[in-house]
Structure 1
Amino acid sequence: MIAYCTYKPAPPASRQAPSIRLRCRDFTFVNFLFVSETKARDVYDSIKSLTCKLGRVEKLYAFTYRPQPPEKDVNGWELYDAKREWRRLGISEKDGDKGWRISEINADYEYAPTYPALLPVPSTISDNVLNYAGKYRSRSRIPVLTYLHPVNNCSITRSSQPLVGVRMNRSVQDERLVAAIFSTSKPDADSQSSSPPSIKDIETESQTSSTQLASLSLESSFVDAEALEDEAISQQNNLIVDARPTVNAYAMQAVGKGSENMEHYKFATKAYLGIANIHVMRHSLEKVVDTLKDSDITPLTPNREALTNSGWLKHISGLLDGASLIARQVGLHHSHVLIHCSDGWDRTSQLSALSQLCLDPYYRTLEGFIVLVEKDWLSFGHMFRYRTGFMGSEKWFEVENERLGGNKRAENGAAIGANSGGNAFENALLSAKGFFNKKNESKESLADSDGEMQPYDTPPSALKSGSATKVSNEHKNGTKVNETSPIFHQFLDATYQLLYQHPTRFEFNERFLRRLLYHLYSCQYGTFLYDNEKQRVEAGVKEKTRSVWDYFLSRRQQFLNEKYEPVVDDNIKEQERLLFPRTKEVRWWSEVFGRTDAEMNGPLHGTPITFANGLGGSVLTGAESADKSIGIGTAHQPRTDGGLSQGAERIAAGLSALGIGKSSASQIRSRSPESAKASMEVEMQ
């Protein structure tokens, strides 16, 4: 649970006691005072050793934890079954159900090591086509089904970025796969066709222009029944959603990757959502912590202006904007949506899961939300080990006035510059130079795609047998700090926003989300210890550890929402079961930061609160298509800028506006017992 640890020796000739200050991953601040310098140093060294020198995941607490009744009698591993969930969505093992089949091409995890064993694909696409299509997607993460709407049979599929490169490569098989996905909702989709549909056959399926798409408001609000009916009968607008900023997506072509060339996907329209990468998100949270670190030991409330400048609410709002767009396309416009970012396991997981929360009331139940996390985060893969950093790092430990492990800001300066205020294309070219100078290395060791332009060493799970690529000791024995990022935290924060805005439509309560975030980092359960399904199978995690869902299911009553009204979703029309976020009302999740609502969401000097969409500046909030923007550029005015170059310039300006604040372990302040008791709920195991 330790995020930072600072040892402060007693000053010479001073009566001040030596101390150890900790900031935990759940934003708890703890301060230990010692009567002896020797004792204090001994404890500091012990904490550091126990935190940073485990060496292997198998030494974590989950492998020795033994629960007591009633938790002992629950088996959370059995809650999610992929085939059962596909059957719930109307897809069985019988080929052709609703135009889909379940492929076992990845049954041994050789085809795509980071993907699940079972892959729902169009029934008209053979495994032979998948073999060729896989060569065109990063890490063979081809477009596959994650959600099928039960009424209109429209789909949400997810993938990684295509390998377009500077030579503008294309793959006919990938184009056929995407075309087949977008044609599965046709009336004759259930017929057993012997060959996949051609691209020309379905080019007329979506005739919507970018001007029509621009009218789709990402600004969410209550929609009356008549408006829902009007939207439902609108023409199908199949959409490829690239979660990245346009400039980042284009820059990735320099390292052999990129985004779809829509000349070859004329049956769809593309939208760039402008969601920042893992480094920007990490530094945004660091700014929030910098703002909160002293507020618990001073009479002053957190600096609201500094909180706003962190950009955290802007990022949450951007995620909800994207999820709203996807949900409207599928639920109201009866369209298909393909989502990807870079490798398709960070922003893609966030958007896919959030849009399904908006679409399907089942995922808003306790069991349904668990299934959603298992499916879109655990089964489809997310780098939990690298994003959470639970193997520890010596860079997070410091003796005051005696730097340990160097200046992490300086070491990560390249990452910060490349992704916040630097020239993305220039950094991409630098990465490309390093790539083309490599010799006989696996393609898996290219730049960290979800960090765009940030090189990284290949984790063991990504290497195929026989690969000569070496894994750094830092990956084997600890955390690579510049790969950590609060991606799952942001998903839970965005879920909290939906829960707060629609308090009667969720079976679980806020405390459920908060405790889930705690156990993301606690390492008490095996659920989040690995990055994909293959790793969990090979590690025997179900046999050797307990599921985190044991904790929640055995204490079910503690996590139920008293305001939940299931009859609402049971009795109303299908379209009215949809939820949409009101992004102007995005607020601080004060409980998770251990602060009161008044401290973080109260009026600022008697003026109205500035929410995420009113931050000002040139940061893009909304999406832009290949021709025109979709959604909003400010809180109230629709975007009207036309042309890709102008949109790219705006995104570049937005990235430059994301400043990176200073932060170091020595700046952490401890929370006094009185303040902790007053402002934070202390929850016992």
Structure 2
Amino acid sequence: MADKLKIAKVENVKVLGGGEVSTVTLHLTAHHLILLQHFTNELPSKEVKTQTRESWFAYPMIANCTFRPTSPGSALESSIRLRGRDFRFFTLNFSDEKLAWDVYESLKGATCRLGSIEKLYAFHYEAPPPERQVNGWSLYNAKEEWRRQGISSKSKDKGWRISRINADYTFAPTYPALLPVPSSISDNTLNYAGRYRSRSRIPVLTYLHPVNNCSIIRSSQPLTGLRGNRSVQDEKLVHACFSAPGTECEGNSTSAYLCSTRNLDRDSSSSNNSSDSSTQRPILDDLNSSSSLEEIATKDQIYGAQRQNLIVDARPTVNALAMQAVGLGSENMDHYKFASKIYLGIDNIHVMRDSLGKVIEAIKDSDISKISPNKEKLAKSGWLKHITGLLEGSALIARQVGIRHSNVLIHCSDGWDRTSQLSALAQLLLDPYYRTIDGFIVLIEKDWLAFGHMFQHRSGFLNSEKWFSVQSDALAGSAIQPGSNNEGRGDAIENAFLSAKRFFNKSNQSQEGINDFEAEILGQEETVSKSSIKDDITTREATKPKETSPVFHQFLDATYQLLHQYPTRFEFNERFLRRLLYHLYSCQYGTFLYNSEKSRREARVQDRTASVWGYFLSRRAEFTNKDYSGGEIDDHVCGKERILLPHPDRIRWWNEIFNRTDKEMNGPGHEDCRDQKASIRTLSYTDDLSHTNPTITVARQHSVSGKMSSLTGLRDGIAGLALGIGKSSLGQKSPSRKQPIELEMQ
């Protein structure tokens, strides 16, 4: 790493942060930029003592670096403006332009010119003794977790077994080695079913409810294509997942939302084949309402008396159907008549990346000013809307499993982004174990790491040269040079560029709808084509900026919302979540490196790096919630119920993660973002497109009227639209997307 550094030390550098200037000495080490500040402190004895403050900045934490050199004789100093992935912003000002160049090139070399994951700090970090005493790698054991859920060869058969079909990762390289599948399904059937799911990510169990034996299943999208391909083996597998025997409620329970007064209907297909919409509508309406647990408990309905097994497609309907153009798509419910399907309308990684970018635009000047964030930009970022959508979708799944005593299959495209978010959050709502420190770690290990969330691609550990830029002196105005006499020039130039940007954004607004699912298709094609190319390690591990996205960040943000709404129900505190996001990007530990369980085993990360869980568990007291109630479960006592349900109207900014005060982001004057938030209120069958909720929709397996039958060609029509995406750049009129089509019916 030393060969990447052109300079190791620079003195008398002015640092601008929070609108204040201080003088520091820079130290550039192999893996960190260190800011060393000397200051004096007068003691009570009138003695003046010199103290030192060190600020360490790991190179992978650099999210953006802009160098503004100045010509000789300029009144301005050369500067390097840095933005961290932990949302720290600061500017380094240099009196010597040559030193500034050397620092910039050193930062660039140590950050995005490593060429290999194995050159990151994790492979060189020596954990201190307290961390070494805690074996973080042993905390998660797949067999033990499945045994905790009641699945073991030595225990009573609950309808599930552990398949070793992927023991060598040849069946599904991005899946874990051990796959919980229905006992009635052979590995031979799994082999055939794998050909019908993207990347062979077949439907497998991720959670089994301890009270009613209902399940959360996860997978990738099916390969239906434009011809409507089907797989009998896949249909058999999904049916078996939904047909595992339920558990009869015991005791005289008055907890209406956890136990039915009737036996559970063990035949899922018979309960879902009814065409009586008047019978099913109240159940679905209430399932997706924002009612509290107390409100649900007072209703006259008998919960769990009728199963409503669901296939949850996390994507917007248009995106899901457009994927048929490249041979992918969503389930044709004519072949899955034992279930209903819904679309949650959660946007793809590109939309989420852009949304966070807009949040950054609102807070980006925190290095040069103490002014509060731009609240209008915060509201327009859509960030809270996305967090709300995730929580409401997860609550829908939790209600379905924990209250409706039904099974749910979740997928998005490849099943490692939105699927991981929804699956993990739903389990957090359902199972108090996952709200403990150890349980939350197990949840991340299982649903994020083992099931193949692409941490390397989404986080961009090796950074990108596109995130480093040099701005000429002509643009180096006074925006980061307080006290200069050239303030007007810089602001005028910046305003001119902003005006031009607004003009082009406005002219391109009509393209946004098409670009949304076009990016999803292109991203899918890019990943598929490049995965088949055996390239050198540098190209293979290089960061692709368009594949980065704050997917895990959103999961932690949603968890923060639950912690804030239920402050006594979680063993960990807010700082635990904040430090977890920090260490995702610090690359100090090997836990989040690479994209899959297979890749981590091949790289031997457990032997060569330390686990981030050792960091947290060796400091357990620092990350323990002092208000934690202890996790006692009593479904007869309000406040001790097993299940939690989020309150969408209480979603707020996680101000600590953005290094802002609560008043700055959530205080008076903050625009009410409720109109920006997702609104998932009613899940019902409807014949009328104009009354369809634009966020969440139902795919029904039966037509109950001629109007529904007339809509059977909708899917093919939308998929055909995807084939014409390229024509939009040839002067043809783009279709309006004021009201996104969010309905699929058979």
1:242 & 1:418 partners in 2: Cα distance? 27
Identify if the C-alpha distance between structure 1 residues 540 and 622 changes in structure 2 by more than 3 Å, giving closer, same or farther: farther
What's 1:79 paired with? 139
1:128 deviates by 0.9
Residue 50 of structure 1, aligned match among 73, 88, 110? 110
What's 2:81 paired with? 21
> Is the contact made by 1:509 and 1:560 (CA closer than 8 Å) also made in structure 2?
yes
The answer to whether the aligner puts 1:593 opposite 2:654 as a matched pair is: no
Q: Which deviates the most, 222-231 or 109-118? A: 222-231
Amino acid at match of 1:277: N
2:675 & 2:536 partners in 1: Cα distance? 43
What's 1:610 paired with? 672
> Is the contact made by 2:196 and 2:234 (CA closer than 8 Å) also made in structure 1?
yes
The answer to whether the aligner puts 1:317 opposite 2:381 as a matched pair is: no
What's 2:605 paired with? 541
The answer to whether the aligner puts 1:146 opposite 2:221 as a matched pair is: no
1:52 deviates by 1.1
What's 1:237 paired with? 308
Amino acid at match of 1:559: F
> Is the contact made by 2:686 and 2:692 (CA closer than 8 Å) also made in structure 1?
no
**RMSD of aligned alpha carbons:** 3.5
Q: Which deviates the most, 517-526 or 528-537? A: 528-537
1:532 deviates by 0.9
Where 1:300 maps in the other structure, the secondary structure is coil
1:305 deviates by 1.3
Where 1:80 maps in the other structure, the secondary structure is coil
What's 2:480 paired with? none
TM-score when normalising by structure 2: 0.74
Q: Which deviates the most, 89-98 or 168-177? A: 89-98
2:136 & 2:212 partners in 1: Cα distance? 32
Identify if the C-alpha distance between structure 1 residues 56 and 203 changes in structure 2 by more than 3 Å, giving closer, same or farther: same
Where 1:223 maps in the other structure, the secondary structure is helix
> Is the contact made by 2:572 and 2:625 (CA closer than 8 Å) also made in structure 1?
yes
The answer to whether the aligner puts 1:380 opposite 2:430 as a matched pair is: no
What's 2:34 paired with? none
Identify if the C-alpha distance between structure 1 residues 251 and 41 changes in structure 2 by more than 3 Å, giving closer, same or farther: same
1:419 & 1:143 partners in 2: Cα distance? 37
Residue 30 of structure 1, aligned match among 63, 76, 90? 90
What's 2:164 paired with? 104
What's 1:393 paired with? 464
Count the aligned residue pairs: 600
> Is the contact made by 2:285 and 2:682 (CA closer than 8 Å) also made in structure 1?
no
Identify if the C-alpha distance between structure 1 residues 474 and 220 changes in structure 2 by more than 3 Å, giving closer, same or farther: farther
1:46 & 1:603 partners in 2: Cα distance? 43
Identify if the C-alpha distance between structure 1 residues 16 and 480 changes in structure 2 by more than 3 Å, giving closer, same or farther: same
The answer to whether the aligner puts 1:131 opposite 2:191 as a matched pair is: yes
What's 2:272 paired with? 206
The answer to whether the aligner puts 1:560 opposite 2:624 as a matched pair is: yes
Post-superposition CA distance 1:519-557 (Å, at most 9, x none): 000000000011111111111110011111010000000
1:569 deviates by 2.7
What's 2:641 paired with? 576
2:63 & 2:291 partners in 1: Cα distance? 35
1:604 deviates by 1.8
Q: Which deviates the most, 245-254 or 301-310? A: 301-310
1:226 deviates by 3.0
Residue 339 of structure 1, aligned match among 407, 410, 415? 410
> Is the contact made by 2:90 and 2:367 (CA closer than 8 Å) also made in structure 1?
no
Residue 419 of structure 2, aligned match among 331, 345, 348? 348
2:291 & 2:736 partners in 1: Cα distance? 22
Where 1:54 maps in the other structure, the secondary structure is coil
1:584 deviates by 1.2
Identify if the C-alpha distance between structure 1 residues 475 and 206 changes in structure 2 by more than 3 Å, giving closer, same or farther: farther
What's 1:423 paired with? 514
1:312 deviates by 0.3
Identity %: 58
1:33 deviates by 1.7
What's 2:526 paired with? 455
Q: How does 1:499-514 map to 2 (within 5 A)?
A: 499-514=563-578
2:350 & 2:80 partners in 1: Cα distance? 28
What's 1:653 paired with? 738
TM-score when normalising by structure 1: 0.81
> Is the contact made by 1:357 and 1:363 (CA closer than 8 Å) also made in structure 2?
yes
Where 1:587 maps in the other structure, the secondary structure is coil
Q: How does 1:212-223 map to 2 (within 5 A)?
A: 212=282, 213-219=284-290, 221-223=292-294
Identify if the C-alpha distance between structure 1 residues 625 and 386 changes in structure 2 by more than 3 Å, giving closer, same or farther: farther
2:106 & 2:683 partners in 1: Cα distance? 52
1:19 deviates by 1.3
2:538 & 2:685 partners in 1: Cα distance? 40
What's 2:122 paired with? 62
> Is the contact made by 1:89 and 1:150 (CA closer than 8 Å) also made in structure 2?
yes
What's 1:196 paired with? none
2:322 & 2:310 partners in 1: Cα distance? 22
1:571 & 1:425 partners in 2: Cα distance? 43
1:491 & 1:651 partners in 2: Cα distance? 32
1:558 deviates by 0.2
Amino acid at match of 1:86: W
Where 1:293 maps in the other structure, the secondary structure is helix
The answer to whether the aligner puts 1:271 opposite 2:271 as a matched pair is: no
1:474 deviates by 6.9
Where 2:526 maps in the other structure, the secondary structure is coil
1:57 & 1:274 partners in 2: Cα distance? 34
**Stretches of structure 2 lacking an aligned partner (at least 5 in a row):** 1-60, 249-265, 475-496, 699-706, 722-734, 742-746
1:381 & 1:418 partners in 2: Cα distance? 35
Amino acid at match of 1:140: S
1:232 deviates by 2.9
Amino acid at match of 1:121: V
Identify if the C-alpha distance between structure 1 residues 177 and 627 changes in structure 2 by more than 3 Å, giving closer, same or farther: farther
Where 1:577 maps in the other structure, the secondary structure is coil
1:276 & 1:211 partners in 2: Cα distance? 27
1:225 deviates by 7.4
Amino acid at match of 2:197: R
1:13 deviates by 3.3
Identify if the C-alpha distance between structure 1 residues 68 and 368 changes in structure 2 by more than 3 Å, giving closer, same or farther: same
What's 2:356 paired with? 285
> Is the contact made by 1:94 and 1:101 (CA closer than 8 Å) also made in structure 2?
no
The answer to whether the aligner puts 1:490 opposite 2:554 as a matched pair is: yes
Where 1:3 maps in the other structure, the secondary structure is strand
Q: How does 1:654-669 map to 2 (within 5 A)?
A: none
What's 2:12 paired with? none
What's 1:156 paired with? 216
Q: How does 1:425-444 map to 2 (within 5 A)?
A: 427=518
Identify if the C-alpha distance between structure 1 residues 623 and 48 changes in structure 2 by more than 3 Å, giving closer, same or farther: farther
1:32 deviates by 1.4
Post-superposition CA distance 1:413-438 (Å, at most 9, x none): 99x9899714269948x96xxxxxxx
**Stretches of structure 1 lacking an aligned partner (at least 5 in a row):** 189-199, 432-446, 464-468, 657-685
Q: Which deviates the most, 304-313 or 3-12? A: 3-12
Q: Which deviates the most, 5-14 or 360-369? A: 5-14
1:475 deviates by 3.9
> Is the contact made by 1:272 and 1:624 (CA closer than 8 Å) also made in structure 2?
no
Identify if the C-alpha distance between structure 1 residues 3 and 254 changes in structure 2 by more than 3 Å, giving closer, same or farther: same
1:503 deviates by 0.2
1:89 & 1:229 partners in 2: Cα distance? 31
Identify if the C-alpha distance between structure 1 residues 119 and 187 changes in structure 2 by more than 3 Å, giving closer, same or farther: same
1:7 & 1:339 partners in 2: Cα distance? 45
What's 1:115 paired with? 175
Identify if the C-alpha distance between structure 1 residues 52 and 402 changes in structure 2 by more than 3 Å, giving closer, same or farther: farther
The answer to whether the aligner puts 1:518 opposite 2:582 as a matched pair is: yes
1:227 deviates by 3.4
Post-superposition CA distance 1:193-219 (Å, at most 9, x none): xxxxxxx97531324646342442242
Identify if the C-alpha distance between structure 1 residues 152 and 457 changes in structure 2 by more than 3 Å, giving closer, same or farther: closer
The answer to whether the aligner puts 1:362 opposite 2:433 as a matched pair is: yes
